[in-house]
């Protein structure tokens, strides 16, 4: 593929970026009364208002031409057709097949597993599936990490108010504190462990699962009872059986870990909230899939999210992307998106195996509003390193609005976006300081500290409400955003070779710490650190 920087649309965007450096979004609103409407898109109950971005129609058109020149339409067709677009592993990335309705399947086995899942969920929730003393299950502990943790954890947290009977817990970290602190609160007779691992080879997950198994045995269960308290979700049936788990919910190699919550990986969602809610989430995601698959670039919500991101990162030099959900229950969203975006597009090599000539994924980070306002918003408003921000705001109903805190939640969200764009008017600030009796050098100094220019870009993403359907639609929109950016940057968004080296080296170091393998030669820093740990452990 031609170097993207040689494409006419890329050059055009470079010119537009130079012009845009002098433009102020606030003035663009003043000159175009239809701006908000022009740059707002809605699909599947999600509304994206990107009118506070530093864009105009010429920019959006050029971004569209860029995506077209990178063969967006053919790539989208290949994605939905289940073609092996993950070219380094020869696999499809067909997570959309997981959320198709049962009467319009793309892949029959998806619905077989879903039916099996539904039967199991019903048994557990109705108390027909019992633990080793005959007691019904009250708590489910999902043991998994990365994509085998973040999605189900996010949905269960987000919809905690819908939880009935079964309480779901998530253990990811290999730090003993994670599992130990969870087990302290569990009743072994009523606890079901779900070991979730696509590969069933992830060291952290297997270590935690082994400890959980031993905990059950130490608390009165026999080896034969293990089957009543352990199920697995994996594509590696053989390894699951070797571990001693009989009940397995499978999925397929064309489901990437970070795209897997729609498969049986989401079983904890169904156990905690009910199968209907799980299906609602799939339906919301499917509605977004339909939109993404059919809408042209200029009307396509996930594509707009993606292209605005490309503009900010590659042309305005904003290599920091911040996600701030204004909803306590979405506190896990930034972590989910970090994996989705950075594991997918954190690549420096193109699909053709060449060094990427342009920046790829920006740093993705964030936290929940309003807390974030009292932590990092100072930097967003006045820091030298500018970022672009996604505000995510679930709407609520009239009853909720009776609560003053609810009104504050909304007011704060909109105020921050407006402040980022408008900054502080210098004349008004001078008047304020003069009224405080300041003048001369003192006034200048205070003015310099308090002024901020604004013109900092953000998007507002509204969810019609915080429910399973809209969560499904929101996450699917972000998945497609990641895909579109991968197409523009000509990278493979669906592999993650970069995490493998660290895993291998951790295995070697673990062996050394346990005295099982010969020490290899380490750099002086690592050798000194190992010696320090050995001293602490009395070795
Ligand atoms: O380390 C990266 C990764 O492979 C992720 O892509 C994945 O979601 C996570 O580890 C967990 O993998 P598994 O589901 O195979 O345990």
Of 8-12, 54-58, 274-278, 381-385, the range with the lowest mean pLDDT is 381-385
pLDDT digits (tens, 9 = 90+) for 72-90: 999 999 999 999 999 999 9
Contact (Cβ atoms closer than 8 angstroms) between residue 467 and residue 397: no
Q: Which atom of ligand 1 is nearest to the CA of 145?
A: 11
- For residue 266, the number of C-alpha atoms closer than 13 Å in the C-beta half-sphere is 32
In the prediction, which pLDDT does 489 show?
98
- Cα radius of gyration rounded to whole Å, the chain: 25
Residue 522 clears pLDDT 90, i.e. is over it: yes
Task: Locate 309 and state its tokens.
Answer: 């991101």
Q: List the residue whose alpha carbon is closest to atom 3 of ligand 1.
A: 146
Taking alpha carbons only, the member of 245, 174, 173 closest to residue 216 is: 245
Active site residues: 343, 374, 503
Task: Locate 310 and state its tokens.
Answer: 């490309």
Mutate to test the pocket of ligand 1, among 88, 142, 170, 198 (most ligand atoms within 8 A of CB): 198
Percent of the chain with pLDDT over 70: 100
pLDDT digits (tens, 9 = 90+) for 124-159: 999 999 999 999 999 999 999 999 999 999 999 999
**112 Cα: distance to centroid of ligand 1 (angstroms):** 24
Residue 180 parent element (H or E): helix 176-183
Q: Phi/psi at 49 (nearest 5 deg)?
A: -105, 105
In the prediction, which pLDDT does 539 show?
86
Q: Work out the pLDDT band at 223, boundaries 50, 70, 90.
A: very high
Contact (Cβ atoms closer than 8 angstroms) between residue 113 and residue 102: no
Q: Which atom of ligand 1 is nearest to the CA of 147?
A: 8
ipTM value = 0.98
Mutate to test the pocket of ligand 1, among 143, 144, 145 (most ligand atoms within 8 A of CB): 145
Q: Which atom of ligand 1 is nearest to the CA of 343?
A: 6
In the prediction, which pLDDT does 1 show?
77
Percent of the chain with pLDDT over 90: 91
Mean residue pLDDT of the chain comes to: 96
Q: Work out the pLDDT band at 386, boundaries 50, 70, 90.
A: confident
Mutate to test the pocket of ligand 1, among 95, 150, 257 (most ligand atoms within 8 A of CB): 257
Q: List the residue whose alpha carbon is closest to atom 9 of ligand 1.
A: 146
**199 Cα: distance to centroid of ligand 1 (angstroms):** 7
Residue 516 clears pLDDT 90, i.e. is over it: no
How far is Cα 494 from Cα 93, in angstroms, rounded to an integer? 7
Contact (Cβ atoms closer than 8 angstroms) between residue 326 and residue 369: yes
Coil, strand or helix: which one is 461? strand
**343 Cα: distance to centroid of ligand 1 (angstroms):** 10
Q: List the residue whose alpha carbon is closest to atom 8 of ligand 1.
A: 147
Mutate to test the pocket of ligand 1, among 147, 153, 268 (most ligand atoms within 8 A of CB): 147
Residue 393 clears pLDDT 90, i.e. is over it: yes
Contact (Cβ atoms closer than 8 angstroms) between residue 212 and residue 140: no
Q: Which atom of ligand 1 is nearest to the CA of 199?
A: 15
Q: Which atom of ligand 1 is nearest to the CA of 260?
A: 8
Coil, strand or helix: which one is 350? coil
Contact (Cβ atoms closer than 8 angstroms) between residue 222 and residue 213: no
Q: Which atom of ligand 1 is nearest to the CA of 500?
A: 1
Q: Which atom of ligand 1 is nearest to the CA of 256?
A: 6
Of 161-165, 245-249, 320-324, 369-373, the range with the lowest mean pLDDT is 161-165
Cβ partners under 8 Å of residue 88, min gap 6: 492, 495, 497
In the prediction, which pLDDT does 224 show?
94
**326 Cα: distance to centroid of ligand 1 (angstroms):** 28
Q: Work out the pLDDT band at 515, boundaries 50, 70, 90.
A: confident
**528 Cα: distance to centroid of ligand 1 (angstroms):** 30
**157 Cα: distance to centroid of ligand 1 (angstroms):** 21
Q: List the residue whose alpha carbon is closest to atom 13 of ligand 1.
A: 197
Which protein residues touch ligand 1 with a CB less than 6 Å away?
145-148, 197-199, 202, 205, 257-258, 343, 496, 499
pLDDT digits (tens, 9 = 90+) for 34-71: 999 999 999 999 999 999 999 999 999 999 999 999 99
Q: What is the pTM of this model?
A: 0.97
The distance between the two most distant Cα atoms of the chain, rounded to a whole number of Å, is 83
pLDDT digits (tens, 9 = 90+) for 419-463: 999 998 899 999 999 999 999 999 999 999 998 889 999 999 999
**170 Cα: distance to centroid of ligand 1 (angstroms):** 15
Cis peptide before 370 (omega within 30 of 0): yes
In the prediction, which pLDDT does 306 show?
98
Q: List the residue whose alpha carbon is closest to atom 6 of ligand 1.
A: 257
In the prediction, which pLDDT does 94 show?
96
Q: Where are the beta strands (DSSP E) in 235-275?
A: 247-250
**257 Cα: distance to centroid of ligand 1 (angstroms):** 6
The pairing of strands 320-325 and 458-463 is unpaired
């Amino acid at each position: 593929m031609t170097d993207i920087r040689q494409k006419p649309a890329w050059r055009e965007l470079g010119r537009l970026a130079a012009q845009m450096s002098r433009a102020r979004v606030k003035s663009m609103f003043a000159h175009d009364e239809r701006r908000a409407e022009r740059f707002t898109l809605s699909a599947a109950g999600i509304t994206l208002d990107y009118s506070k971005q530093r864009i105009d129609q010429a920019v959006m058109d050029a971004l569209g031409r860029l995506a077209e020149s990178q063969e967006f339409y053919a790539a989208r067709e290949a994605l939905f057709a289940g073609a092996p677009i993950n070219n380094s592993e020869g696999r499809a990335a067909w997570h959309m097949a997981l959320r198709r309705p049962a009467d319009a399947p793309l892949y029959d086995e998806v619905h077989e597993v879903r039916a099996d899942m539904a039967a199991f969920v019903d048994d557990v929730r109705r108390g027909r599936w019992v633990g080793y003393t005959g007691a019904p299950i009250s708590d489910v502990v999902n043991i998994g990490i990365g994509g085998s943790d973040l999605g189900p954890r996010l949905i269960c947290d987000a919809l905690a108010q819908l939880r009935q009977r079964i309480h779901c817990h998530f253990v990811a970290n290999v730090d003993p504190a994670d599992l130990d602190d969870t087990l302290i609160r569990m009743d072994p007779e009523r606890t079901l462990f779900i070991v979730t691992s696509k590969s069933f080879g992830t060291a952290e997950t297997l270590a935690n699962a082994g400890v959980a198994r031993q905990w059950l045995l130490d608390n009165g269960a026999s080896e034969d009872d293990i089957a009543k308290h352990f199920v697995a979700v994996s594509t590696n049936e053989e390894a699951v059986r070797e571990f001693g788990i009989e009940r397995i919910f499978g999925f397929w190699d064309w489901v990437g870990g970070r795209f897997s919550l729609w498969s049986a990986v989401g079983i904890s969602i169904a156990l905690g909230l009910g199968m209907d809610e799980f299906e609602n989430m799939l339906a919301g995601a499917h509605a977004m899939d339909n939109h993404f698959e059919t809408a042209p670039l200029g009307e396509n919500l996930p594509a707009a999210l993606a292209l605005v991101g490309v503009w900010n990162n590659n042309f305005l030099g904003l290599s920091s992307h911040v996600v701030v959900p204004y909803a306590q229950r979405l506190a896990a969203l930034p972590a989910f998106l970090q994996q989705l975006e950075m594991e997918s597009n954190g690549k420096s090599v193109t699909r053709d195996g060449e060094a990427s000539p342009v920046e790829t994924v920006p740093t993705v980070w964030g936290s929940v509003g309003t807390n974030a306002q009292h932590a990092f918003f100072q930097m967003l408003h006045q820091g030298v390193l500018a970022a672009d921000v996604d505000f995510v705001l679930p709407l609520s109903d009239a009853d909720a609005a009776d609560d003053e805190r609810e009104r504050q939640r909304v007011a704060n969200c909109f105020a921050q976006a407006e402040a980022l764009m408008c900054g502080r008017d210098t004349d008004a600030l001078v008047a304020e300081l003069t009224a405080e009796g300041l003048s001369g050098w003192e006034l200048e100094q205070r003015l310099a500290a308090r002024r901020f220019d604004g013109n900092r870009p953000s998007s507002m993403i509204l969810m019609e409400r915080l429910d399973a359907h809209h969560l499904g639609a929101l996450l699917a929109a972000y998945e497609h955003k990641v895909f579109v950016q991968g197409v523009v940057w000509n990278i493979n968004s669906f592999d993650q070779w970069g995490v493998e080296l660290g895993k291998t080296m951790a295995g070697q170091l673990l062996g050394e710490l346990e005295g099982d393998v010969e020490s290899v030669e380490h750099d002086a820093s690592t050798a000194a650190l190992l010696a320090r740990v050995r001293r602490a452990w009395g070795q």
